[in-house]
Amino acid sequence: SFLGNSMVSDWAESLIQTLGRDIQNAAEESIKRSGVFHLALSGGSSPLALFQRLSRHHHGFPWKHTHLWLVDERCVPFTESDSNFGNIEKHLLQHVRIPYVNIHPMPVQRNQRLCDIEDMGNQTYAEDIFALVGNASFDFVLLGLGNDGHTASIFPGKEDGIYGRSTVLLTESPQKPHQRMSLSLPLINKAQKVAILVLGKGKHEILTLISRAEKTPKKWPIHGVNPTPGKLVWYIDYETLLR
């Protein structure tokens, strides 16, 4: 158990295999129940191996009935290597048969401008979620943990993403690229299942910090990830745990 939630730990390759299988099981369950699977994915480097695994090893995966959403995005064109959607496209979408209309990238670039407050791309995204995802409750949300303790694109000390409404926010990262778009934690917390994937010894320190800190969401956004009990699972590899 980790911070009172379920935890799966293993060597990275097996951990990714388990997570891939858990996502596929969640997809099959959701489709049986509602005919559709709404999956929201994070970016960063950790999920790349998962994307590759999902594209290569899960031949029975019900992509046809899967809708793919973004948890967060860096405000750069999709063609840049920093782009979360760009990476999902390259490592996953190009290799699986998912209907074009089921793919929902965050609208970070319109009319040559990036994540512009006046452009309201974030609100459009929130509207799409509320229109297409039943009760705005994603079936599966994949999160990561940044070395500085951010999750999704909610950064430590930024309370507006932790409290407040179920919505899509424009946020700012201390690291480049600074401008981000992110699901708010209240929106993430409505999900049926939430997974937090933590890989590599580089994450040992932050994991130790947050596990020892008092569980007030004020400091560490990850403590504000509180879906209904039993719905959150941490996937942490041995490298991170043991260092």
Shortest distance in whole angstroms from residue 60 CB to ligand 6PG = 27
Q: Which residue has the tokens 């959403």?
A: 69
**Residue closer to ligand 6PG (CB basis): 32 or 148:** 148
**Residue closer to ligand 6PG (CB basis): 126 or 141:** 141
Shortest distance in whole angstroms from residue 33 CB to ligand 6PG = 27
**Residue closer to ligand 6PG (CB basis): 11 or 64:** 11
Shortest distance in whole angstroms from residue 82 CB to ligand 6PG = 8
- How far, in Å, CA of 8 to CA of 236, rounded? 6
Which residues would be at the binding site for ligand 6PG (CB under 6 A)? 42-46, 71-72, 74, 84, 144-146, 150-153
Residue 185: Cβ-neighbour burial (10 angstroms; 0-12, 13-18, 19+):
buried
**Residue closer to ligand 6PG (CB basis): 136 or 222:** 222
Tokens of 139: 């079936």
Q: How far is CA 31 from the centre of its chain?
A: 20
- Does residue 187 contact residue 127 with C-beta atoms inside 8 Å? no
Shortest distance in whole angstroms from residue 1 CB to ligand 6PG = 22
**Residue closer to ligand 6PG (CB basis): 71 or 225:** 71
Look at residues 77, 76, 86, 78 and name the one whose alpha carbon lies nearest to residue 51. 86
Shortest distance in whole angstroms from residue 161 CB to ligand 6PG = 11
- How far, in Å, CA of 117 to CA of 220, rounded? 25
Q: How far is CA 30 from the centre of its chain?
A: 18
